[in-house]
Amino acid sequence: MRKKVLLAVAALLAASAAIPAWAAAGGQVTGLRRLSEQEYRNSIADVFGKDITVSGMFEPQVRMGGLVATSTAVLSVTPVGFDSFSKMADSIALQVTSDKHRKLVPCAPASAKEADDACAAQFFSHYGLLLFRRPLTADEVKARVNLARVMTKSGSDFYAGLRYGLAEMLQSPNFLFRKEVAVPAGGKTLTLDPYSRATRLSYLMWDTTPDSDLLQAAQTGELNTAPGLEKQVMRLLASPRLDNGMRAFFTDMLELDTFDNVSKDPLIYAKWSGPMASSAKEETLRSTIDLALHQNGDMRDLMTTRKTFINRSLAAIYDVDFTFDGDWMPYEFPKDSGRSGVVTQVSMLSMFSHPGQSSPTKRGVALMDIFLCEPTPTPPANVDFSAVNDTHGPLKTVRERLLAHATTPTCASCHNHSDPIGLSLEGFDTIGQRRLTENGQSIDLSATIKGKSFKDGAGLGQFLHDDPKYPACLARKLYAYGTGVNSEDVETSAFKTTYKSFVDSGYRMRALIKGLVESPEFFNMPAPAAADASDGKTKLALH
């Protein structure tokens, strides 16, 4: 298999050695997206094989417009971050050029103790294409070959030269950042060049670096034709690797990384320990991917399905029998369980909730933002939370206390917007267990949003299922995820075609993806009027 890749890449290189398409006159950099941790790891695994270990600290992510992916378009690399990338680069390069992985070097030097520019050039061209996601220019190859020669001399070791050259490439901005280059496409539009297309497609659909087939389609220019694009899209859709891509998307959209900061009070909720968080995360991903990709189901059902997958730890929270037939078992909640879709899974219920008690506001705010693309502004600085948090006062349930607190006019406008969702979920405690009473009092699970009334988790699920804002939000977020734009800044017209395909297909995820990547808005953009109009950043003095 590896040999096949080597041959394919070699062929590509031979064909593209002359003029890199991206350097054509008029090419503009329209996007620069820093690799996320998962993208970095997946890319390394695909380029060098799973045997190569990657360990180090990745910089924290920032969520913008509901998606972490968006921040990759605006963040840079800090000194601490670069230091870490540098160390990882060295570690990876060391492994790749070690005796153990000799097969990863596609040629043999004349002497293992001396420089061999031809073999070094082959090595750097080969991996340069795979790592930079485009062919290297002759100058770029030469620079690495020269570096390798110097390094080889100092240690009398050909492979040491390769190591340092490879390490350099792995900390180069060409690897760490996905450069998106657009070329004029007639009239006032720009279109992404083929390699940029390949990169965008691959990271969206498979969460990894473009494979040799995709690179080939870029090199021949096929990707810039409709049938060529369709062919690749169908191939990527048909692969089981689509699961990886969509897992990454849903992890982002459903904000599952929130778990990194969730802790529950061990005095009250001692059951929340050990693998509970990772189990909850996996449950949500499994059930979502199963519906979206394996069953090819109606994505609105994500709000109402009672089918899920649970493991032994989750079975203890859901208080059901676990069958021990494998680590994960499919499970369907009974009708009267109050469970409905992803919004009543342990993940959603526990991530947006306090350590010691549930929070209708947090849940409401999160779900409105995640599924309806309706974010809520932050509260004013001088709010007095003492009444809300007083569990010993006359108001026994969280709901009662919250409603009392939210009657103040300044508070009501936001709270009325988001609390109802959370209030209907009060039948579940902060770790997602079902409860019918709180502090001895039975809980009122009714809620009203904009005149529509519903009750409990099942009612909420149905409400969200029926709200057209949800599928529109899903489409918007997939668009933002794929293009790196802030979802709040996306014009509705930008994903109109995409949304239509989605609806027409009966809300199938595959149709959404295909519709998105084949829509004109995905790879094309209007030519900017002035040089800096494409980004809205505050200008700083350049030095």
Partner 1 sequence: MILRSVLLGSTIAAGVAVLLAQPAAAAPWKRGFVVGEYGFAFRYGGRAGGSETEPAADCARGSATHFNDEGEMRKALGRQPWRSKQEIDYIVAPPEIDKARLPTYVRFYVWGRAVSYRGWRKGIETYINPFAAHDPGQPEVVSRISDGFNLDGNQKTGGFISPDGERGVDNALYRAWGCDAPFRNPASGTLDLRENTQMQEGLYTVVIRISGNQDPMNDNDATVEIGYSPDKIVRDARANVAPDYSYRMVKSEQYTKLKARIVNGVVETEQVGELHVPRIGWFPDQMGDADFHKGKLKLKIDADGRNASGFVGGYRNWLDLLSENTFAQTGAEQGIRDHEDAVGLYYALKRNADGMPDPKTGRNTGISMAYRIKAVPAHVVDPATPAQVRRPAEDEKRRKGFEMVKAAMVKAVSTRIVQEVPLGTGEAQFPAMERTIADLPSKDFFLQHFDAPGKLDENGKVIMPKPKSEPQRQVKNGVATTVASAEDDDQ
Partner 2 sequence: MKLHRRTLLRGMFQGSAAVMGVPFLDCFLDGKGQALAATGQRLPTRFSTFFFGLGLTTKLWVPQKAGLDYDITTQLKPLEPFKKKMNVFSGMRVMVDDNPNFQHWSGNAAIVTGIAPTRASQFDSKTIDQTVADVISRGARFKTVAAAASGDPKHCYSSLGGANTLPAEPTPLSLYTRLFGPGFQDPSKADWKPDPQVMLQQSVLSAVADERKDFMKNLGSGDRDRMDQYFTSVRESELQIAAELQRPEVVAKVAIPSAPDDMVVNYALPNVRQVTPLMAKLGALAMATDQTRVFNLAISEPGSNIYVPGDPLGYHITTHMEAIDLNLGYQPRVAEYNIYSMELLAATIKEMDSIPEGDGTLLDHSLLMAYSDQSYAKIHAVDGIPIMLAGNANGRMKTGFHIAGGGNPVSRVGLTVQKALGLAADGWGKGSMETKSAYAELLA
Q: Which of residues 438-467 bind partner 1 (CB under 8 A)?
A: 438-440
Contact string (CB under 8 A) for partner 1, positions 217-256, x = contact: ----------------------------------------
319 makes contact with partner 1 (CB under 8 A): yes
- Cβ at position 123, least distance to partner 1 in Å: 48
Among 149, 271, 362, 417, binds partner 1 (CB under 8 A): 271
Member of 260, 325, 384, 532 binding partner 1 (CB under 8 A): 325
Q: Which stretch binds partner 1 (CB under 8 A): 30-38, 51-59, 312-320, 373-381?
A: 312-320
Question: What kind and span of H or E run contains 289?
Answer: helix 276-289
The minimum distance between CB 445 and partner 2, in angstroms, equals 24
Q: Where are the alpha helices (DSSP H) in 62-193?
A: 79-96, 117-132, 138-155, 158-170, 173-176
Q: How far is the CB of 322 from partner 1 (least distance, A)?
A: 4
Q: Which residue bears the tokens 């329209």?
A: 30
Residues 6+ apart with CB under 8 A from 215: 9, 12, 129, 130, 133, 195, 198
- Residue 355 CA, chain-centre distance (Å), reads 26
**In DSSP terms, which residues pair with 211 in a beta bridge?**
none
User: What does each C-alpha distance from 407 to 244, 401, 411, 432 come to in angstroms?
Assistant: 45, 10, 7, 27
Q: What is the C-alpha separation between 283 and 5, in angstroms, rounded?
A: 35
Six-digit token pair at 217?
A: 């389609």
Quote the CA–CA distance of 476 and 496 in Å, as a whole number: 9
Q: Which is nearer to partner 2, 303 or 421 (CB)?
A: 421
- With CB under 8 A as the contact rule, the residue among 216, 361, 433, 501 that binds partner 1 is 433
Please count the residues of this chain forming the interface with partner 1, following the rule CB under 8 A: 34
- Coil, helix or strand for 157? coil
Q: How far is the CB of 328 from partner 2 (least distance, A)?
A: 18
Annotate each residue in 283-302 with x if it binds partner 1 (CB under 8 A) or - if it does not, as one string: --------------------
* SS3 assignment, position 393: coil
Q: Based on CB atoms, which residue is closest to partner 1, 67 or 349? A: 349
Nearest in space to 510 (alpha carbons), one of 309, 295, 306, 301 = 295
- Least gap, CB of 276 to partner 1 (angstroms): 9
Pick between residue 177 and residue 481 the one whose CB is nearest to partner 2: 177
The one of partner 1, partner 2, none whose footprint includes residue 429, by CB under 5 to 8 A per kind, is partner 1
Catalog residues that contact partner 1 under the rule CB under 8 A. Answer: 264, 266-274, 312-313, 315-317, 319-325, 356-357, 391-392, 429, 433, 435-440
